[in-house]
Amino acid sequence: MYSLDDTIAAVSSPSLLPGRPGRIIIRISGAGAFSIFTHPSLKFQFRSTEGAALNQRGISAFRVELACGVWADGKAYCFTSPASYTGQNLVELHVWGAQPVVEAIYGTVLQAGIRQAGPGEFTQRAYLNGKMDLSQAEAVMHIVSAGNEGQIGAAQRLLQGGLAATIQRIQKQTFELLSLLEAGLDFAEEDIEFIGPQQACERIGLLSQEIQRLLDGAVRCEELMELPSVGLVGAPNAGKSSLMNALTGTSRSIVSDVEGTTRDILTALLELSSGACVLFDCAGLKSRQDDMLDELARQSAIQAIGAATVILFCVDLTCDNLETSKEIFSHLSGHHLIGIATKSDLISFEELPSRVDFLMHTFGIAFLAVSSKLRAGMEALKTILPQLILSAQAGQAESDRGIAINLRHRQKLQSALKHLAEAAEEMNTGRTEIAAMLLRKVHQELGGLEHEHLDERILDVIFSRFCIGK
């Protein structure tokens, strides 16, 4: 059984680069958190608003010296139980110094009888001490691992407790219906009907609709926590590989005048202002029927494009025959697209606007003229991309309104929905007692989303995905 009695510590900030001093946070939680200030191996000198003393309900500046003579300056942020993140006495030592100095201080903290915290253990204590519900605890993990604004927004909605409030309302309605059914069973011999079968079925239907609406309108955390993908799509030799290399500043894709050079799906990480995304370059969608490898490459491309967040549809400005591009474009209906007019360096300055306008008229989408060779248009593309990625994610998940749920939440809700359907069938056939039993299962499933019926193994699985120090 997990114990809350011991005191835990962890470094909860990123490591410093070699030779680069900075601030590192050492977090300590538990009944013995404040004892670190009186440990003989650490000599603290304080400069707080209360004079040369520790402020146990605020911030104190300090200088700490180790027995070996190493010292560092910092600030101690102290929170007393229960008014802290974990609900216990909590200390954060914000230490300024180089990495080895901070590691020496942290090592001394652990030698003082304080245990190193496991992954997510601070948030786990916050949950166990009633400082947050389980979905909010999971939201902390999603915020820490978020890679862009859309991911952070979805996780913040989960942290705000929207899911918990909705579940509590549905659970209350389920309990009210269950109470009426069980009361009818208790007084079956006295000819008292608390709720009729038809009314019960109607209320079960309303509960099912509520859960289905929640499932349909919710943001899937798993989808949002994955990096968005941006696919380079176009006819063979349309400049996709050169564009990928220009955007990423690498030679990830082979550039050749020979058509069909790229057969495998090549990926690279692209850093944008809103976060990172995965850029992929794949084979053209038009294949030769007599070439099995070409057809396999085409199928891989279709699968990757189907899962892409945004598509960069590349068309060669120097190409007069657009039939292949038109055929490929016909497969991209419903995707979030940016038209990319490649090889603009091969078109004269006077002719370029009319060529771009022709592409816009032909395909019905806006086109951005770029030159991978001269890197023209790259910064403009990197400005447009984050906006379209966020728009695509919002459109896919209705992230402005939706409640964020993860796979565990979805499975619980789907199980509750299944039991509700079974309960309605039992009510229709007059088996009220079995219907009541199924409604009890619904109540338990919904309770299991936050607090009830969660064994230690489930909690271990949830919090093991956190990083240490959170």
Note whether 146 and 105 are same-domain residues: no
CB distance 154 to 219 below 8 Å: yes
222-233: b (≥16 Cβ within 10 Å) or e? eebbebbbbbbb
pLDDT band at 436 (very low <50, low <70, confident <90, very high): confident
Average pLDDT over residues 358-371: 93
24-33, 183-192, 307-316, range with the lowest pLDDT? 183-192
Q: Judging by beta carbons within 10 Å of its beta carbon (0-12, 13-18, 19+), is residue 455 exposed, middle or buried?
A: exposed
Note whether 50 and 182 are same-domain residues: no
SS3 13: coil
Note whether 232 and 321 are same-domain residues: yes
The answer, yes or no, to whether residue 92 has pLDDT greater than 80, is yes
Q: What per-residue confidence (pLDDT) applies to 452?
A: 46
Domain with 87 in it: what CATH number?
Answer: 3.30.1360.120
Asked if residue 45 belongs to a domain, the reply is yes
Asked if residue 459 belongs to a domain, the reply is no
- Model confidence pLDDT, tens digit, residues 283-324: 655 555 555 555 555 666 677 777 788 899 999 999 989 998
Q: What per-residue confidence (pLDDT) applies to 260?
A: 46
14-28, 93-107, 148-162, 341-355, range with the lowest pLDDT? 148-162
pLDDT band at 129 (very low <50, low <70, confident <90, very high): confident
The pair of three-digit structure tokens given for residue 117, joined into one six-digit string: 């915290």
CB distance 64 to 43 below 8 Å: yes
What's the Cα-to-Cα distance from 395 to each of 147, 373, 470, rounded to whole Å? 18, 34, 31
Range of the structural domain that residue 253 is part of? 225-397
Domain with 259 in it: what CATH number?
Answer: 3.40.50.300
Question: CA quadruple 197, 198, 199, 202: dihedral positive or negative?
Answer: positive
Closest alpha carbon to 33 in 75, 76, 74, 97? 76
Closest alpha carbon to 86 in 138, 126, 136, 33? 126
Q: How far is residue 65 CA from its own chain's centroid?
A: 40
Note whether 375 and 241 are same-domain residues: yes
Note whether 50 and 162 are same-domain residues: no
Domain with 212 in it: what CATH number?
Answer: 1.20.120.430
Neighbouring CB atoms inside 10 A of 40's CB total 7
Look-up: residue for tokens 């955390």? 221
Asked if residue 234 belongs to a domain, the reply is yes
Note whether 230 and 282 are same-domain residues: yes
CB distance 416 to 445 below 8 Å: yes
Closest alpha carbon to 177 in 382, 387, 370, 436? 436
CB distance 191 to 381 below 8 Å: no
Asked if residue 465 belongs to a domain, the reply is no
Closest alpha carbon to 26 in 125, 101, 132? 101
Q: What per-residue confidence (pLDDT) applies to 171?
A: 86
Note whether 340 and 421 are same-domain residues: no
Residue 390 half-sphere exposure toward CB, CA atoms < 13 A:
17
The pair of three-digit structure tokens given for residue 390, joined into one six-digit string: 């966020």
SS3 458: helix
